[in-house]
Amino acid sequence: MKILQLLFVSILFAACNVSPQPINYGIDSCHYCNMTIVDKQHAAQLVTSKGRAYKYDAIECMVHSLQDEFKSTDMAYKMVANFNNPGELVNASEASYLVSENLQSPMGANLSAFKNAEVSKNAQEKFTGTIYNWEKLQQHLKLP
């Protein structure tokens, strides 16, 4: 009987895994625009507090999805691709963002994320553009 209880509890915990999921580049589609996610430097992901993962081909798609669809939903994770380390997702609130015409993103916002402000300043010196933190980026990409 105790073995069955232990097995049940183990299955319950495994089913409640709240964490970012791997993005299957070239296979997964963007939750917002339905394009296939192929660009490892601009992808993004939301994970709800219940563990549902939503994947995006561009950071701007994730931001617009948050503004349009998930206004009241509690998100456990907001992750963005680290431009300098393609495929690595970093915390969106801690990342720093560069909007530069010299760095094109999949949906045309010319938006790239960097691990921190220092790294984005280095990128700004190379590519020019405007740096945003997470809060200012929300205002910059505000839907009408």
pLDDT tens figures, 3-62 = 544 444 444 444 568 999 999 999 999 999 999 999 999 999 999 999 999 999 999 999
The runs of H, that is alpha helices, within 42-116 are 59-68
* Angle 111-75-45 from CA coordinates, rounded to 5°: 40
Contact assessment for residue 98 and residue 130, using Cβ atoms and an 8 Å cutoff: yes
Residue partners of 51: CB distance under 8 A and separation at least 6 = 16, 17, 18, 19, 76
Does the pLDDT at position 2 exceed 90? no
The confidence band for 141, taking pLDDT boundaries of 50, 70 and 90, is very high
pLDDT band at 63 (very low <50, low <70, confident <90, very high): very high
Given a cut of 50, whether residue 124 has pLDDT beyond it is yes
Q: Are the C-beta atoms of 84 and 115 separated by less than 8 Å? A: yes
Q: Does residue 132 register a pLDDT over 50?
A: yes
How confident is the model at residue 16, as a pLDDT? 63
The predicted model gives 80-102 an average pLDDT of 97
- Give the C-alpha separation, 129 to 70, whole Å: 29
Residue 80: pLDDT above 90? yes
Measured in Å, how far apart are the chain's first and last C-alpha atoms? Answer: 58
pTM of the model: 0.85
pLDDT at site 4: 46
Give the pLDDT confidence of 92-114 residue by residue, as tens digits. Answer: 999 999 999 999 999 999 999 99
* pLDDT score for 15: 53
